[in-house]
């Protein structure tokens, strides 16, 4: 039965003979979500017709279209196979068939009330195939080789500051690298493979960086290094946790007031920070941080080109944290960074929503859930430790009260209770005497210009302000004015000073 079906599908290909194309098989699996209702055979058949029509394999009403077949392997999915030669011997028009199929799939989800996925923009990482999933189960792996390589390459790119360091980190993690050399001998690209992952011939299975993710190719990595390479004026020495926190705290400002390339560069740098944080975090929160990094990876890419130079400080500070994780590893720095990262991810979600990046917005929403769980676990012991700490000697001397004076109103507090006598004493001297309601508050010292002006006390004073005094004229100035008036009779005479009343 299978042989007869294959012969019927390949009949148009065999008619071409030597003129047949090299690749003649088109395969497309279609799967429903676990929570979706079970569809009937007629519904799956209609879905298959719509898919092949959208892909250009068999347009509706075309009798000379390609031959195809749909096989239902289980209740939740089907497999569509077709030959890429029409019955009239021509090749089908399959321009951008993947995008057309995705658009039709979104319509099918609405028509059959299935789980609706977010429309993409072509920048998502390629998902593992069913063959790769079956191979991972056969090898006893929790994830496919593609997903493992993507994680290791992303972390190596986030931690490396030079190209040589990048290849050294990959070698240390057990990744085999094969360079793609040009005619001049320069490396144009690189492929990655895991040890033990071989094909039926015993050869290692290599994945190109661009097939793992669009931003994991060697040219993309070199472009980031060109904009974030070490300069003579490096990042100021200090606590890298504080520097990373300050840089992350400025991300919302870049997203709301900066241009799109700058905002995209900030999100890409935040993604690299999430890639390295699980390596320096405590074991209790490592799993949640890895889930957050995996989810936010989709929110770091879009059709907007990233300005990586704008996020130089964040990348360098996170690399410093990764190189010396035990230097500031009390947990307070991580809690502080996660606190501002929650705000940054919330702004990233809004930024993607305003630009209609549906998948990136959903990824940011999922990241918030994992970051909140990680922050709750890491902040609880840190805040408890800060609350149990007693103030140091310098802090005690700063807020110590003045020496006690003799009098009935002098109070002494308990030796173990912190006292704020000196600030309260200064407040009473300044006119704030809320602690003594039975006494009239004494006005504090006022500036000279305030003492010269009489303050109005009643409405009569406001209606009849005091007269202004005529300024006194010095004797020399009065003599000069008189001499000038004698030489110029037409000049106005200055007013004569009046005698002051006593």
* pLDDT for the residue 349: 96
C-beta neighbour count of 381 within 10 angstroms: 15
Q: State the DSSP code for 10.
A: H
Q: What is the pLDDT of residue 228?
A: 65
Q: Taking a C-beta distance cutoff of 8 angstroms, is the pair 58, 82 a contact?
A: yes
What pLDDT was estimated at residue 171? 93
228 neighbors 314 (Cβ within 8 angstroms): no
pLDDT tier, 336 (very low <50, low <70, confident <90, very high otherwise): very high
What pLDDT is attached to residue 232? 42
Helices (H) and strands (E) in the chain, counts: 20, 6
- pLDDT over threshold 70, residue 347: yes
pLDDT of 124 strictly over 60: yes
Are 98 and 120 a contacting pair, CB within 8 Å? no
Say what the pLDDT of residue 15 is.
Answer: 86
Q: What count of residues does the chain have? A: 502
| Residue 346 neighbours by CB under 8 Å, 6+ apart | 364, 368
Is the model's pLDDT at 47 over the cut of 60?
A: yes
pLDDT at residue number 365 = 96
* Distance between CA atoms of residues 325 and 312, nearest Å: 20
Given a cut of 60, whether residue 120 has pLDDT beyond it is yes
Q: What is the dihedral of CA 296, 301, 304, 307, to 10 degrees?
A: 80
Tell me the per-residue pLDDT of 228-268, one tens digit each, with 9 for 90 and over.
Answer: 655 444 445 678 999 999 999 999 999 999 999 999 999 99
272: Cβ–Cβ under 8 A, 6 or more apart, which residues? 154, 157, 158, 315, 318
Per-residue model confidence (pLDDT) at position 391: 75
pLDDT band at residue 192 under the 50/70/90 scheme: very high
> Tell me: the pLDDT tens digits for 207-217?
999 999 999 99
Kindly tell me if the per-residue pLDDT of 66 is higher than 60.
yes
Q: What is the model's pLDDT at position 424?
A: 63
Least confident window among 102-106, 134-138, 291-295, 457-461:
457-461
CB 126 within 8 A of CB 207: no
- SS3 labels along 437-463: CCCCCCCCCCCHHHHHCCCCCCHHHHH
3-class DSSP state for residue 83? strand
Percent of the chain with pLDDT over 90: 47
- In this prediction, residue 438 carries a pLDDT of 47
Query: Is the per-residue pLDDT at 149 higher than 90?
Result: yes
Whether the pLDDT of residue 297 is over 90: the answer is yes
The CA distance from 270 to 291, in Å, is 15
Strands 176-181 and 207-208: unpaired
When mean pLDDT is compared over 54-58, 248-252, 438-442, 450-454, the highest value belongs to 248-252
SS3 of residue 190 by DSSP? strand
Using an 8 Å Cβ cutoff, are 225 and 162 in contact? yes
Q: Please answer whether residues 34 and 106 qualify as being in contact, where contact means their C-beta atoms are separated by less than 8 angstroms.
A: no
pTM: 0.69
At residue 407, the pLDDT reads: 53
Least confident of 34-43, 395-404, 428-437, 467-476: 428-437
Mean pLDDT over 168-183 rounds to 92
pLDDT for residue 385 is more than 60: yes
Q: Tell me the DSSP string of 205-239.
A: --EEHHHH-TT-SHHHHHHHHHHHS--SS-PPSS-
Which residue has 């929403």 as its token pair? 365
Q: What is the mean pLDDT of the chain?
A: 83
Q: How confident is the model at residue 387 (pLDDT cuts 50, 70, 90)?
A: confident
* DSSP string covering 100-111: HHHHHHHHHHHH
**For 462-488, how does the pLDDT look when each residue is reduced to its tens digit (9 = 90+)?**
455 555 555 565 676 777 777 666 666
Q: Which of 3-7, 300-304, 341-345 has the lowest mean pLDDT?
A: 3-7
Mean pLDDT in residue range 183-192: 89
Confidence class of residue 501 from pLDDT cuts 50, 70 and 90?
low
Cα–Cα dist 221/109, whole Å: 37
Euclidean distance between CA atoms 327 and 172, whole angstroms:
23
What are the CA-CA distances from residue 25 to residues 16, 21, 61, 86 (Å)?
A: 15, 10, 22, 12
Going across the sheet that includes 77-86, the strands are 25-31, 77-86, 66-72
């Amino acid at each position: 039965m299978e042989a007869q079906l294959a012969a019927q599908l390949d009949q148009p290909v065999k008619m071409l003979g030597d003129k047949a194309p090299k690749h003649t098989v088109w395969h497309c699996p279609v799967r429903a979500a676990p929570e979706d209702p079970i569809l009937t055979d007629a519904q799956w058949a209609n879905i298959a017709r719509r898919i092949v029509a959208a892909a250009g394999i068999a347009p509706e009403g075309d009798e000379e279209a390609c031959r195809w077949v749909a096989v239902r392997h289980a209740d939740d999915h089907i497999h569509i196979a077709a030959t890429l030669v029409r019955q009239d011997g021509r090749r089908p028009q399959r321009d951008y068939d993947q995008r057309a199929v995705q658009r039709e799939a979104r319509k099918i989800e609405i028509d059959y009330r299935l789980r609706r996925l977010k429309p993409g923009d072509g920048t998502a990482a390629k998902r593992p195939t069913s063959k790769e999933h079956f191979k991972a189960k056969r090898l006893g792996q929790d994830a496919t080789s593609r997903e493992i390589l993507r994680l290791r390459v992303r972390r190596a790119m986030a931690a490396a500051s030079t190209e040589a360091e990048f290849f050294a980190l990959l070698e240390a993690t057990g990744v085999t690298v094969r360079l793609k050399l040009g005619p001049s001998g320069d490396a144009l690209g690189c492929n990655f493979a895991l040890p033990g992952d071989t094909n039926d011939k015993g050869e290692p299975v290599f994945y190109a960086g661009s097939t793992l993710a669009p931003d994991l190719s060697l040219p993309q990595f070199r472009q980031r290094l060109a904009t974030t390479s070490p300069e003579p004026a490096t990042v100021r020495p200090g606590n890298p946790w504080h520097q990373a926190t300050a840089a992350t705290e400025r991300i919302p400002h870049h997203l709301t007031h900066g241009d799109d390339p700058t905002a995209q560069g900030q999100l890409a740098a935040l993604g690299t920070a999430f890639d390295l944080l699980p390596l320096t975090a405590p074991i209790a929160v490592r799993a949640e941080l890895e889930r957050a990094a995996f989810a936010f990876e989709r929110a770091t890419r879009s059709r907007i080109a990233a300005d990586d130079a704008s996020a130089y400080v964040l990348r360098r500070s996170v690399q410093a944290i990764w190189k010396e994780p035990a230097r500031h590893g009390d947990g307070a720095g991580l809690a502080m960074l996660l606190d501002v990262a929650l705000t940054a991810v919330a702004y990233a979600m809004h930024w993607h929503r305003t630009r209609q990046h549906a998948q990136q917005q959903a990824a940011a929403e999922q990241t918030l859930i994992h970051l909140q769980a990680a922050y709750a676990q890491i902040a609880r012991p840190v805040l408890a430790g800060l609350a149990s700490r007693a103030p140091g000697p310098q802090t005690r001397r700063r807020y110590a009260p003045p020496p006690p004076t003799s009098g009935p109103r002098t109070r002494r507090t308990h030796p173990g209770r912190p006292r704020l006598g000196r600030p309260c004493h200064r407040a009473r001297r300044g006119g704030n005497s809320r602690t003594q309601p039975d006494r009239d508050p004494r006005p504090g010292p006022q500036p000279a210009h305030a003492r010269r002006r009489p303050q109005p006390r009643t409405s009569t004073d406001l209606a009849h302000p005091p007269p202004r005094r005529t300024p006194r004229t010095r004797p020399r100035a009065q003599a000069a004015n008189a001499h000038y008036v004698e030489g110029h009779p037409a000049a106005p005479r200055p007013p004569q000073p009046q005698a002051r009343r006593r």
